[in-house]
Amino acid sequence: MSGKQTKLTVYYGALVATKKWLTRQEAADYLGVSPSMIDRQLRHAIPTYLISPGGRAFVFKREEIDAWIETNRVGPDEEFFI
């Protein structure tokens, strides 16, 4: 990755981290998962807000994503699968 690409990536990450509402792609980037993972699993675990008729476009509230992360904490003595 070139220096310019690195700066853009850091800028994008900072921008997403400060936005109130995230698109599917931004939520995936924020969580470090694929957009299809958002579709398959996380969309049902994290509240979504429809922004278009027919339910084709939706957004996530960043603070609700953060709250979901907090509620799914795994303790140091708990087993988990990667």
67 pLDDT tier (thresholds 50, 70, 90):
very high
- Residue 26: give the domain boundaries: 16-70
**4, part of any domain:** no
Q: What is the DSSP letter of 22?
A: E
pLDDT of residue 65: 93
pLDDT digits (tens, 9 = 90+) for 4-62: 656 555 555 555 667 899 999 999 999 999 999 998 887 788 888 888 877 678 899 99
pLDDT of residue 3: 67
How far is 48 from 57, CA to CA, in rounded Å?
10
Provide the sign of the torsion angle of the four alpha carbons 69, 71, 72, 77, taken in this order. Answer: positive
**21, part of any domain:** yes
Number of compact structural domains in the chain:
1
How far is 41 from 16, CA to CA, in rounded Å?
21
Around Cβ 29, how many Cβ atoms within 10 Å? 18
Predicted TM-score (pTM) of this structure: 0.67
